Chains A and B, each alone.
Chain A
Amino acid sequence: MFDTGEMVRSPGHAFTLPAGLLAEPEPFDDDAIEEPAPAPRSRPRSLAEAARRARTGTPAGERTLPVSPALADLLPDGLRRGSTVGVVGPGGRSLALALIATATATGSWAAVVGDPDLGLAAAAEAGVALARLAVVDLSGPTASRQWGAVVAALVGGLDLVLVAPRRQVRAVDARRLAARARERGSVLIRIGDASWPDRPDLELALADAAWEGPEDGYGRLRCRRAEVVATGRGRNARERRALLLLPDARGVPSLP
């Protein structure tokens, strides 16, 4: 009963995700309401049924997570629950912290998987509520085998999951995690997008960035003036650009 034989092993490379994790509801999940979906386009048979159909799952305000006002131009609707976001290239961690700050401050939990280097002081300055930030260490001997299960468990329970995989992620795992995020309304934030086989719903990167402050021995780092580019699929297909201080002299992402 204790072995992990259910996991699909493949020789050599890649993480695997136990298939069972998605198929069966977790024992603890009392919030997953099993309601048979009504057959599409048939006439409602009763007033109650019509009312039930009219009720769309979650209220509009809860379908997104709030983001800092500095990111309003890039994410006009906020951070959409159930989406995947990639932060690419240099400045990726700062972007990730800017993304999660306001949501954690308003009650959402965030977890960081596989990135032991994430600067906690920078997170605190950016406005992340550290009381709702968990750091998951993947350095243990069995950790790489469990990667998929760990991320899936977190996606099921936390609103924001930051993932920095060390190896190439298999397409099937990426698909499953994205599906699970969609089902649970969590946001999967990928730090460093090279390890993922597919494109995320939204991709953020620094186009042009320069640190200000130090000269030859004088001053100190004060802020980074950066142009952030948001591209993506679907409703994010139109490219958006914004000039930001990421971070400013207090460590906060803000508008110049």
Chain B
Amino acid sequence: MNPAFDPGPRTLVVRCPDWSLTALGVAPGEPALVLAAGRVAAASEAARAAGVVRGQRRREAQGRCPEVAVLERDEAAEARRFEPVVAALEDVTPWVEVSRPGACAFGVRGPLRLLGGEAALLDRTAEAVGAALDAAVGPAHPGCRLGVADGRFAADLAARVAGTGIAGSLVVPVGGSPAFLAPQPVGVLGRPDLADVLVRLGLTTLGAFAALSATDVVGRFGAEGQAAHRLAAGLDGTPPQVRRPPPDLAVAVDLDPPVDRIDRVAFAARALAEQFHDDLRGRGLACTRVVVEAETEHGERLARCWRDEGVLGTSALVDRVRWQLEGWLHGPPAVRPTAGLVRLALLPDEVVPATGHQAGFWGGATAADERAARALARVVGLLGEGSVRLPEWRGGRDPVDQLVLVPLTGGVGEVGRVDAPPSDAPPWPGVLPPPSPAAVHADPVPAELLDDRGRPVRVDGRGVLSAAPVALRVDGRGAHVAAWAGPWPVDERWWDPRRHRRRVRLQVVADDGVARLLVLEAGCWRVAATYD
């Protein structure tokens, strides 16, 4: 068969719906959501029914569904709990590829010969996964969804739309992938920017997109558009020139002393992933499937295959290595090795020529964004996770609340996001008007504010100062008050006894020309910010 028209091998995809919730022990009927970087990353069915959608802010989600349980995302738990599921599938076939915790796939050709038919294979898979899930997260789990189709993308989609039973499954007949994909919306391609452009062009379904000429698509949308177009047409998404990688691209690190804790091996894993990525890049290659291999002191060999629809960048690789180590080292005893790891290796299993990135056709990453993303990733490598942070608008009455810093987590894509104050943001009554202070103190400095007789200035219950402030003392240094404005009281969340905050704000200009924002809370004045 001409490889350009290869629909891809017949594949079975196993998906555990809402895995980030299931892994945290949320029962299917409970309203719950998982937050990542301040936004909803996943919501249970009950929460979704109440109007909680992915990408919402916490406040908005809680507004829609007040009784929702808010959980922080725990990727380590997701990886740890999924490893036994993959291990259980090894009874069915040795060729399981994991794409992320909660989803994995394998080619059906081999196990089909063994088991006789697709129906038997589905039964056997559902049984193995069900038993593993029972053991890993307890009896209350939403089960798994299975999809079988020609090509991995179609199989994944089949599993996504498969029935809602404990082991719902959907089998797309041989040769039926294009017909199955045609009515699906373009959003399922997982490329929101591309989908946005396509919808505006009036191409709302995969069938309509697939009907475009491939040449036109490449001309307009580049390599990324080409891959998406192939997927939409029911062809294998990976371009036909997939190569077996030369063997010397595998990288390994010997761990001495042997490690049995993830935090001790995580740093080595990052450096290893970087080396792996650089080696491939040096040859103009990119990896789409990688085998993570480990060897223990007792000579056990552990290996697991990970793949991604796109190309595995450094941060994606690091994530996968970390997830895998989490699964092995902190998983249930059945999958845990009997001794510490002495060697960790990454083997490229499938490589494609690196097509590079096309610079921002749809307003995405520009060359400057990519350069910045690489430099910032390097700094994260030097200083550790969470050391580089980006501002995000939250809203609030005080300068310290309005914008918060969220850690930079993802790769290049994450770094071009926009987080300016929205122009249609609702007003905050009692907010201090601009100009805002150029220095907001993370640790407000205690201050003394005195009146003309040297007594501390107080504020009564109605928000009136006991006397005009005359002198200010900060850090042991005194200054005369040249001018002042306020006080502006704020009474926040008076309905919630635990989070109730009452405070009074005052702008004070000292005679040395420095303007400060003083806040009185719990009887104590502090310098919250300086108009530097």
Tell me the complex Cα distance, A12–B285, Å. 46
Contact check, A211 vs B515: say whether CB atoms are below 8 A apart.
yes
Contact check, B378 vs A134: say whether CB atoms are below 8 A apart.
no
Tell me the complex Cα distance, A118–B439, Å. 5
CB < 8 Å: which of A121, A138, A222 contacts B403? A121
Contact check, A134 vs B376: say whether CB atoms are below 8 A apart.
yes
- Distance in angstroms from B408 CB to nearest chain A CB is 7
Contact check, A158 vs B372: say whether CB atoms are below 8 A apart.
yes
Tell me the complex Cα distance, A132–B372, Å. 9
Residues A131 and B372 in contact in the complex (CB < 8 Å), given A119-B399, A136-B383, A216-B484: no
CB < 8 Å: which of B281, B390, B419 contacts A135? B390
Residues of A within 8 A of B376 (CB): 111, 134, 154, 157-158
CB < 8 Å: which of B368, B435, B442 contacts A107? B368
Flag B473-506 by CB within 8 Å of A: 1 or 0 each. Answer: 0000000000111100000000000000000000
CB < 8 Å: which of A109, A123, A130, A143 contacts B387? A143
Tell me the complex Cα distance, A209–B485, Å. 18
Residues A124 and B383 in contact in the complex (CB < 8 Å), given A134-B388, A211-B483: no
Among A49-57, A68-76, A171-179, A247-255, the stretch in contact with B: A247-255
Tally of B interface residues using CB under 8 Å = 63
- Distance in angstroms from B491 CB to nearest chain A CB is 20
- Distance in angstroms from B477 CB to nearest chain A CB is 14
Tell me the complex Cα distance, A110–B402, Å. 20
CB < 8 Å: which of B278, B507, B529 contacts A119? B529
Task: Check if B468 is an interface residue, CB within 8 A of chain A.
Answer: yes
- Distance in angstroms from A243 CB to nearest chain B CB is 16
Task: Check if B371 is an interface residue, CB within 8 A of chain A.
Answer: yes
Task: Check if B119 is an interface residue, CB within 8 A of chain A.
Answer: no
Task: Check if B180 is an interface residue, CB within 8 A of chain A.
Answer: no
Tell me the complex Cα distance, A183–B136, Å. 55
- Distance in angstroms from A215 CB to nearest chain B CB is 6
Contact check, B374 vs A90: say whether CB atoms are below 8 A apart.
no
Tell me the complex Cα distance, A249–B420, Å. 20
Task: Check if A42 is an interface residue, CB within 8 A of chain B.
Answer: no
Instruction: Considering the complex, give the chain A residue whose CB is closest to the CB of B277.
Output: A27
Instruction: Considering the complex, give the chain B residue whose CB is closest to the CB of A111.
Output: B376
Instruction: Considering the complex, give the chain A residue whose CB is closest to the CB of B380.
Output: A136
Contact check, A154 vs B379: say whether CB atoms are below 8 A apart.
yes
Tell me the complex Cα distance, A130–B421, Å. 9
Flag A121-147 by CB within 8 Å of B: 1 or 0 each. Answer: 111110001111111111010110010
Contact check, B438 vs A131: say whether CB atoms are below 8 A apart.
no
Residues of B within 8 A of A223 (CB): 435
**From B378, B388, B468, B532, residue with most partner A Cβ within 10 Å:** B532
Instruction: Considering the complex, give the chain B residue whose CB is closest to the CB of A129.
Output: B420
Tell me the complex Cα distance, A116–B514, Å. 20
Tell me the complex Cα distance, A106–B507, Å. 34
> Range of interface residues on chain A?
35 or more
Flag B378-402 by CB within 8 Å of A: 1 or 0 each. Answer: 1100111011111101000001001
Instruction: Considering the complex, give the chain B residue whose CB is closest to the CB of A91.
Output: B532
Task: Check if A31 is an interface residue, CB within 8 A of chain B.
Answer: yes
Residues of B within 8 A of A91 (CB): 532
- Distance in angstroms from A246 CB to nearest chain B CB is 9
Task: Check if B221 is an interface residue, CB within 8 A of chain A.
Answer: no
Residues A153 and B483 in contact in the complex (CB < 8 Å), given A119-B438, A211-B531: no
Residues A150 and B379 in contact in the complex (CB < 8 Å), given A90-B532, A109-B369, A119-B399: yes
Task: Check if A93 is an interface residue, CB within 8 A of chain B.
Answer: yes
Tell me the complex Cα distance, A111–B433, Å. 26
Contact check, B390 vs A134: say whether CB atoms are below 8 A apart.
yes
Task: Check if A20 is an interface residue, CB within 8 A of chain B.
Answer: no
Task: Check if B164 is an interface residue, CB within 8 A of chain A.
Answer: no
Task: Check if B51 is an interface residue, CB within 8 A of chain A.
Answer: no
Tell me the complex Cα distance, A117–B532, Å. 11
CB < 8 Å: which of A2, A107, A142, A248 contacts B271? A2
Residues of B within 8 A of A150 (CB): 379, 382-383
Task: Check if B214 is an interface residue, CB within 8 A of chain A.
Answer: no
Contact check, B403 vs A130: say whether CB atoms are below 8 A apart.
yes
Tell me the complex Cα distance, A222–B374, Å. 40
- Distance in angstroms from B222 CB to nearest chain A CB is 18
Task: Check if A92 is an interface residue, CB within 8 A of chain B.
Answer: yes
Instruction: Considering the complex, give the chain B residue whose CB is closest to the CB of A89.
Output: B532
In A176-224, the 8 Å CB interface with B consists of: 209-211, 213-224
Instruction: Considering the complex, give the chain B residue whose CB is closest to the CB of A210.
Output: B513
Flag B404-419 by CB within 8 Å of A: 1 or 0 each. Answer: 0100100000001111
Residues A107 and B366 in contact in the complex (CB < 8 Å), given A27-B278, A157-B371: yes
CB < 8 Å: which of B388, B435, B440 contacts A249? B435
Residues of B within 8 A of A119 (CB): 399, 436-440, 529, 532
Contact check, A134 vs B389: say whether CB atoms are below 8 A apart.
yes
Contact check, A157 vs B391: say whether CB atoms are below 8 A apart.
no
Task: Check if A94 is an interface residue, CB within 8 A of chain B.
Answer: yes
Task: Check if A149 is an interface residue, CB within 8 A of chain B.
Answer: yes
Contact check, B387 vs A221: say whether CB atoms are below 8 A apart.
no
Tell me the complex Cα distance, A155–B500, Å. 44
Residues of B within 8 A of A93 (CB): 438-439, 532
Task: Check if A64 is an interface residue, CB within 8 A of chain B.
Answer: no
- Distance in angstroms from A235 CB to nearest chain B CB is 26
Contact check, B387 vs A122: say whether CB atoms are below 8 A apart.
no
Contact check, B382 vs A214: say whether CB atoms are below 8 A apart.
no
Instruction: Considering the complex, give the chain A residue whose CB is closest to the CB of B384.
Output: A140
Contact check, B485 vs A121: say whether CB atoms are below 8 A apart.
no
Instruction: Considering the complex, give the chain A residue whose CB is closest to the CB of B517.
Output: A221
Tell me the complex Cα distance, A70–B196, Å. 39
Task: Check if B509 is an interface residue, CB within 8 A of chain A.
Answer: yes
Residues A221 and B485 in contact in the complex (CB < 8 Å), given A109-B372, A119-B529, A247-B435: yes
Residues of A within 8 A of B390 (CB): 130-131, 133-135
Task: Check if B112 is an interface residue, CB within 8 A of chain A.
Answer: no
Contact check, B378 vs A157: say whether CB atoms are below 8 A apart.
yes
Task: Check if B217 is an interface residue, CB within 8 A of chain A.
Answer: no
Contact check, A94 vs B438: say whether CB atoms are below 8 A apart.
yes
Residues of B within 8 A of A224 (CB): 435, 515, 531
Residues of B within 8 A of A123 (CB): 391, 438
Nearest first, the 3 closest Cβ-Cβ pairs linking A and B are: A157-B375, A214-B485, A109-B372
Q: List 28 A-B contacts (CB under 8 A).
A: A27-B278, A92-B532, A93-B532, A108-B368, A117-B442, A119-B437, A119-B440, A121-B402, A123-B391, A125-B436, A129-B420, A130-B391, A130-B403, A131-B390, A134-B376, A136-B383, A140-B384, A157-B372, A157-B374, A157-B375, A214-B483, A217-B468, A220-B486, A221-B485, A222-B435, A247-B435, A248-B435, A251-B436
8 A-B pairs besides A117-B442, A124-B436 with CB distance below 8 A are A123-B438, A136-B383, A136-B389, A153-B378, A153-B382, A158-B372, A211-B531, A220-B507
B interface residue numbers (CB < 8 A to A) = 253, 267-268, 271, 278, 281, 366-369, 371-372, 374-376, 378-379, 382-384, 386-391, 393, 399, 402-403, 405, 408, 416-421, 432-442, 465, 468, 483-486, 507, 509, 513-515, 529, 531-532
